[in-house]
Structure 1
Amino acid sequence: MELRGIEPVAVTRWLAEHVPDLVPPVEFALISGGRSNLTYRLTDAAGSVRALRRPPTGGVLSTAHDMGREWRFISALAGTPVPVPEPLAYCADAAVTGAEFYVMGYVDGTVLVDAEAARPFPPEARRAAGFAVVDCLAALHRVEPDEVGLGDAARRDGYLHRQLRRWRRQVHQSGAPDLALLDAVHDALASGVPEQTTGIVHGDFRPGNLSFAPDGAVLAVFDWELATLGEPLADLGWLISTWAEPDDAAPPTTPGPTVEPGFPRRRELVDRYVELTGRDVADLPYYVAFQRWRSACITAGVRARYQAGVMGDDGYTARCEDARERRQAEAAWRAVEELGLTGGAR
C-alpha cells in the first residue's frame, strides 16, 4: 500500500545513514489524529520504534509547516523541565521524500485528544493530568529564550499584531464561509491589543498535543510547528479556550477530554498558573477572544487542505466543518463584544 508523503526506499536509506542504531528495513505507518503536519510511526527490523514528521504533501500556507522550526524548538528544550521527544535527526534535503522532515524518539503514552481517550483514566488521574498540563505550560513559560539558544528564533515585539495579520491573510487564502464576520472580529481585536511581554510560545498547547502516563504525568509535548517568541498569555488563552466544562454555552476551540469527571475547572488552572509563574492575567479574556477567532481561521485552513487531498488518509472528514467555523466565529464575536471592543458595530 502506497503511503502518501513517504518514499520508503529513499527515506530508509537516509535513516540508516543518519539515525543511530537504526536497523533496516523500516516499516512506515501514518499516525492518525494530526490535522496539520504528517506524523509517521517508524518500526525498524530490530523492533525499535521512532517517529517522523513532515509537512503536508501540498497546500502549504506561508510560514506554516516549518520542520526546521519544530526541530529547533525540541532540540533547544531537550534537557529542560519541559518534556519533549528525543530529537534524533533532521533532513533538510527535500529531494529525499518531497519535503524536509525530522525524526524523534517515539513516546509511548496516551494523547488525551478527546473524552473517549480519557475514559480509561480514573478521576484522580484525570485531575492529576489537568494540573500536569498547566504545570508543564508554566515550566515552558519560565524558560528564558536566550538561555536555550532561542533568543533569535523570532522577533521579540509586536507578537499579536503579527498574529492578527498572519491568520487574517491565511484565512482569506483558505476561503472561510463567512469572511465578513471573521474580518469584523479581527478589526475589533486589532483595536484593543494589550501590552505584551515576551517568552516562548508553543502555539497549540492542549491535552491533545501532550502524551500522558497512566497516572496523569506529562511524558512529552508534541507539535511545535507554531512555536515562536511572543506573549505567553496567548498559550494560556488557547488552553483555556479548549478546556470545555459540562455547563458551557460556547463550544471549545478544539475538542478535548475535559468534560469527563475529574478534570480541574478552568479557574483552578488559571490560579495554578498564576501561583507558578507570578504573571498578571488581567488581560486573559482578550487572549481567549483572540484564540476563538484564530481557531476559526485554523479550521478553515485544515478543511481546505483535506478537501484538496494533501493530508493523507487518517480518517478525517471535512463534514460539518463549515458550521464549526461559524460557531467559533460567532463565539469570538461575543467575546470581543464582552470586552467592549466592537463599538456596537457588525
Structure 2
Amino acid sequence: MSDPADLSGPVSGWLSESGIEHALPLTLTRVGVGQSNLTYAVTDATGAPDRRWILRRPPLGHLLASAHDVAREARILTALQDSDVPVPRVFGVWTADGVPMVLMEFVDGLVLDREDVVAGVSEPTRHAVGLAIARALAPVHAVDLDKTGLVDLASHKPYAERQLKRWTTQWQHSKTRESADLDTLTARLASAIPEQRELTLVHGDFHMRNVIVSPADGSVASVLDWELCTLGDPLADVGTLLAYWPAADEAGQGLLSFSTLPGFPDREEMAAAYLDASGRDGSALAFWHALGLWKIAIIAEGVLRRVQDEPRNRAAAFAPTTEQIDSLIAKALRTLT
C-alpha cells in the first residue's frame, strides 16, 4: 500500500486493537523531510489534539539488507519507555501487504526540519535548543543495557571498524557514481581509528531534525528515528551531531540542519555541553566528526539513489545533489587533517 488513503482501514483496525478511541474517517498526511523511513501523521474525524498518532513504514522500492527495520526501531523505543530518554510510546507493529508498520504516540512540539519553522523560534530559544540537544545525548549513553534488554541489540566488537565495514558496503550497493575522494577518506579513517574505551547505546543518527523540542524553553520532548541505533562508542553520536551542525561559512544549510541561523550555539559549545553533561573526554572528537560526515555522505548518496529509482520516496524538501555530497566528503577530509 503506497497511497496513504489505502492505509486508513488497516490503521483504524490497529487503533481498535490497541483500545484507542477514534472517529472515522482517518486522514494520513506525510510529515517530515526525512528521506528514509516514511512517516505519516494520522488524525481522526474530530481533529482533536489528542486524536493524533504517527505511522512509520519503510521507503518504497528496493531496500538494502538490514536497512529501514521499523520493527527493530519499535523494539528500541519500547525498551526505552522507562529510561531517562524521552521517546514516544509504541502501540504496536503490524503489516499491510507484507510491509511492517509501526503505530506510535504523537508527541507535541516542534521539529526543526524546515526554515519557516526555525524562523519562528527566537534566537535565545535557538541557543537553548542547541544546548538541550547536545545534553540529551548523555542519558542515551547512560542507558542500562542489561535492564532494558538491549545488551544483545548489536555486536560488541570495536565500533569504528564495524561502521567502516558496514557503510563501505552500503556505498558499494547504493552509489550513483565512483568517488576517488570518498575512497581516500575511507582509507584515512581506517588508519586513524582511536581506541574504544566503552560500549554504550548509540542512537546512530542524532541531529536537530530527529528530536521534538518545546517551543517554550527549547527542551527536548522526544528523541526520534532510532533505525540506525546500535551499540558502540558514545562519541560517535557526538561526531554525528557535529557533522549535522554546519557553521555560517560552511556548506550544508538545509541539507544538514539550520544551525547556521543566528542564535544557535557553535560546535565548540555543543561539544562542551555534552562533555560536561556526560563527564567524558573529547580528545577523539575530530575522528568521530569526520566519520559522521563520511556516513552522512553515504546516507545522502543512498537517498539520491532511492529517489532516482522511485520518485515517490522524495520527501517534502529535496533530494541531495552530487555536489552537496561531494562537499561533505571534502569537509570530512579537512576535519581529519
Partner of residue 187, structure 1: 187
SS in 2 for 1:110: coil
**Shift, 1:240, TM fit:** 0.9
CA-to-aligned-CA distance 1:286-338 (integer Å, 9 cap, x gap): 001111111111111001111111644543443x61111111122222333x1
Partner of residue 165, structure 2: 165
1:129–1:218 contact (8 Å) kept in structure 2: yes
1:176–1:297 contact (8 Å) kept in structure 2: no
Alignment size in residue pairs: 332
Counterparts in 2 of 1:208-223, with a 5 A limit?
Answer: 208-214=209-215, 215-223=217-225
SS in 2 for 1:68: helix
**Shift, 1:193, TM fit:** 1.4
Residues in 2 aligned to 1:157 and 1:23: alpha-carbon distance in whole angstroms: 49
SS in 2 for 1:111: coil
Residues in 2 aligned to 1:313 and 1:290: alpha-carbon distance in whole angstroms: 26
CA-to-aligned-CA distance 1:97-125 (integer Å, 9 cap, x gap): 44111111111211112543222111111
In structure 2, runs of 5+ residues without a counterpart are: none
- Which consecutive aligned stretches of 4+ in structure 1 deviate over 6 angstroms post-superposition? none
Partner of residue 63, structure 1: 66
State whether structure 2 residue 137 is matched by structure 1 residue 124. Answer: no
SS in 1 for 2:257: coil
Residues in 2 aligned to 1:203 and 1:5: alpha-carbon distance in whole angstroms: 32
Residues in 1 aligned to 2:11 and 2:301: alpha-carbon distance in whole angstroms: 32
Partner of residue 280, structure 1: 281
1:241–1:292 contact (8 Å) kept in structure 2: yes
CA-to-aligned-CA distance 1:44-90 (integer Å, 9 cap, x gap): 24441100101012221121101122101111111322111121112
Residues in 2 aligned to 1:311 and 1:222: alpha-carbon distance in whole angstroms: 23
2:90–2:103 contact (8 Å) kept in structure 1: yes
Residues in 2 aligned to 1:293 and 1:63: alpha-carbon distance in whole angstroms: 20
Counterparts in 2 of 1:281-320, with a 5 A limit?
Answer: 281-309=282-310, 311-312=312-313, 314-318=315-319
Partner of residue 241, structure 1: 243
Q: Relative to 1, partners in 2 of residues 1:67 and 1:218: Cα closer, same or farther, differing over 3 Å?
A: same
**Shift, 1:163, TM fit:** 1.1
Once the two structures are aligned, what percentage of the paired residues are identical?
Answer: 36
TM (norm. structure 2) is: 0.91
In structure 1, runs of 5+ residues without a counterpart are: 339-346
Does 12-21 or 270-279 show the bigger shift? 12-21
Residues in 1 aligned to 2:187 and 2:312: alpha-carbon distance in whole angstroms: 31
Counterparts in 2 of 1:1-346, with a 5 A limit?
Answer: 3=3, 6-18=6-18, 20-47=20-47, 48-91=51-94, 94=95, 96-196=96-196, 197-214=198-215, 215-248=217-250, 251=252, 254-309=255-310, 311-312=312-313, 314-318=315-319, 321-336=321-336, 338=337
Residues in 2 aligned to 1:6 and 1:151: alpha-carbon distance in whole angstroms: 38
SS in 2 for 1:240: helix
**Shift, 1:13, TM fit:** 2.7
Q: Relative to 1, partners in 2 of residues 1:139 and 1:213: Cα closer, same or farther, differing over 3 Å?
A: same
